[in-house]
Structure 1
Amino acid sequence: MLSSTKFELPGVNFSTPKQVKEILHNSLKSIGEFDDCALLDYPNHCNVGDHLIWLGEIFYLTDVLKTKINYTANISNFNAEKMEQQIGNAPILLSGGGNLGDLWLHEQNFREKIISRYQDRPIIILPQTVYFSEPENLRKAANIFNNHPNLTLFVRCHQSYKTATKYFYNCRVFMAPDMAFQLVGMPGLKSQKQQKESILFLCREDKELNQEFEADYIGIDQITVEDWSAFRYKHPQPKIWTIPGMIKVVSEARKQGNLLPREWISRQLWKYLHSYTDKFEQIYDPNMQRKSWNFMHHAVYQFSQYDLVITNRLHGHILCLILGIPHVLLPNAYYKNEYFYESWTSQISFCRFVKSATQIKPALQDLLDTKGGLSTMY
């Protein structure tokens, strides 16, 4: 049986995002060192939170661990033969997030398939929230995980750690913050700010929505309710360097109210002139990595237009921390948001977590009073 180790730093202060990033680095030292690897389960969808995680992972692996990522794939385009050609028996890393469990079975089934198939090398699951609603699904996952001779699991909250150490007893288990904290302190974020006179409510509408916190129930005026702006771009865009393509892009952007010169200029600078863009050339499938980079710009630009944010998305919370935006975090449908906040971010001065809709207004006012200089917005 492998030993499971809880990451603890008694007396450590988590009062700034930078300090949480430092804890992330200390936690990930448990990975060890290796020259190259595969990073699997690329988020082939528009949920920006998973793209922030992915970017944090590739920047950590390349910049901090100095590891070459010689193969990346999403669930649909994973090719076992190609991976073998690219990495041999090097370690496999599985992307982190909030899908280790039975809420998002597509990702969990892929994870279990990889762990079952590749017993000849280390497999590392980057920071995840663990949540199973059905005991049978948990037992199935535990059997697969425990049968692997060298499986390391990082978890994002104390409840996930409790579950993982109890059921995944043959794995090495460590606590670590979310991989998106690797993005804290990166250049090119401060210049994005263009505040609107309203509050952004970034509200998810999927099966993780806590029904008590729907937009109609929170009672806040001067509020803009929307999800990630990237969801507006679900369909492939035509190549902009063709005349028909340019006409279509301009037409669609005008319909959506997105073709502001400021936004367009910001996007071009981000895509082509940001100092981080050269990093993608050193990673397998650079275009895949650039796709995540573009999704990040959508979110950074969206958030930077607001002085205050309310969100029920965990990565709405984390992006606010990265950008320094005061905000209120709401519960999701299970314990993910609350326990992550309790584990890592509750000491940060410009965020609040509330457990009922009646607490939102006082929390916003408290943030305004703490920040100072902002007028009451509701």
Structure 2
Amino acid sequence: MNSSTSSSLDLISEYDKALSPHVSSSEPYALLDFPDHYNVGDSAIYAGEMAYFDSKVGYSPAYVCTFSSYRRDVEDFAPEGPIFLHGGGNFGDVWPAHQDFRHEVLERYTGRKVVQLPQSIHFRDQKAVDKTAKAISGHGNFTLLVRDRESFDFASKAFDCEVVMCPDAAHNISNLSKGAAKAPVLSMIRKDREQRGDSVVPFLESLGEVKDWERQFWARSPMDRIVERVISPRIRQTGRLMARREKMFRRQAWNRVNYGVRLLSEGELVISDRLHVHIMSSLMNKKHISLDNYYGKIERYIAAWGNDGLVTQVSDLSSLKKAVTEAGYG
């Protein structure tokens, strides 16, 4: 799909087309690498993944974990069935902890169906590409879903596996209701290792507040912290504890998504270099201006799946100033 316009229903259909060959209502499944961090976009992805599995499969994953709570024990809860790896933008060497976790899963579960949910791919070092290629080749039953054409072309050449185009899982979330705006303009600019090299921040500061996702300590309840940090590491996991963890992950993901909706509601116009500010703004039916991260993730995504008519894409300070003026906020 590369039409000039897109809708949530179109993208939900595309997501199902890519995923449906790998899901079944007659076997358990596992979903690994829950995003236990402050990036709201990853929580939106997780919420969308669960919305899809709920509607398509009709039951929860038998096994869930973060990369740090994984105990090499998927088979104790899901002795058969596919293993799904959480989607996002960390396939490559920008976020090595998640990539190392993928390699570990592929090594341990050789031959068992492992499906990487849709990712954007970016490598900086050929040695890291070779390491991933070796892990995929040695596994033998890996499917890689990717969110843009550049990732598809790269993976098709570099890796010996099935590669499939698929939109982001967050589109599976129902339309998000925006609240009342508090200011004309809100800017959401990355402060992490994917941040842009140029500085548009002084101009954005002249328009209003410049923020980024903040840590949401309240997303976890006190009991969540006790169970996951104190009790679970010290005892054998049981079905009851796993079921509690699965429900906890859902709740935490939605806590973060709801925080994101409240934050994005603050501005009449939102400007950002985050992909999921774009996607969530679209789900909120909110006009916005999209910059990009340092390797072009958002431009690549919109080129693959279309512009929904709510986003104005800009590439530099000059085009940003023009877009802001045309939106009536210059």
- TM-score (structure 1 length as normaliser): 0.77
Aligned to 1:351: 311
Structure 2 residue runs of 5 or longer lacking an equivalent are 224-241
The aligned runs of 1:219-368 (5 Å cut-off) are 221-228=206-213, 230-231=214-215, 233=217, 285-345=246-306, 347-366=307-326, 368=327
Distance in 2, matches of 1:14 and 1:119, equals: 40
**Structure 1 residues 144, 52: closer, same or farther in 2, change over 3 A?**
same
Aligned to 1:204: 190
- Deviation of 1:86 (Å): 1.0
Q: 1:139 aligns with which of 130, 150, 173?
A: 130
Distance in 2, matches of 1:357 and 1:111, equals: 37
Given that 1:312 and 1:329 are in contact with CA atoms closer than 8 Å, whether structure 2 keeps it comes out as: yes
The structure with more radius of gyration = 1
Give the length in aligned residue pairs.
311
Aligned to 2:35: 43
Q: 1:182 aligns with which of 146, 165, 172?
A: 172
Given that 1:320 and 1:327 are in contact with CA atoms closer than 8 Å, whether structure 2 keeps it comes out as: yes
Distance in 2, matches of 1:286 and 1:201, equals: 33
Given that 2:22 and 2:82 are in contact with CA atoms closer than 8 Å, whether structure 1 keeps it comes out as: no
Distance in 2, matches of 1:139 and 1:86, equals: 32
Comparing 128-137 and 332-341, the one that deviates more: 332-341
Distance in 1, matches of 2:117 and 2:111, equals: 19
**2:102 counterpart of 1:111:** yes
Distance in 2, matches of 1:238 and 1:282, equals: 18
Given that 2:187 and 2:204 are in contact with CA atoms closer than 8 Å, whether structure 1 keeps it comes out as: no
Letter in 2 for 1:78: Y
Distance in 2, matches of 1:67 and 1:343, equals: 31
**2:24 counterpart of 1:62:** no
Provide the alpha-carbon RMSD of the alignment.
Answer: 2.3
Given that 1:89 and 1:120 are in contact with CA atoms closer than 8 Å, whether structure 2 keeps it comes out as: no
- Deviation track 1:10-47 (CA, whole Å, cap 9, x = no partner) reads x8564323322222222223324253201000112111
- Deviation of 1:348 (Å): 1.6
Distance in 1, matches of 2:303 and 2:79, equals: 40
Letter in 2 for 1:340: Y
Given that 1:39 and 1:94 are in contact with CA atoms closer than 8 Å, whether structure 2 keeps it comes out as: yes
- Deviation of 1:160 (Å): 0.2
Given that 1:69 and 1:284 are in contact with CA atoms closer than 8 Å, whether structure 2 keeps it comes out as: no
Aligned to 1:152: 143
**Structure 1 residues 122, 235: closer, same or farther in 2, change over 3 A?**
closer
- TM-score (structure 2 length as normaliser): 0.87
SS at match of 1:55: helix
Letter in 2 for 1:30: P
SS at match of 1:343: helix
Letter in 2 for 1:223: G
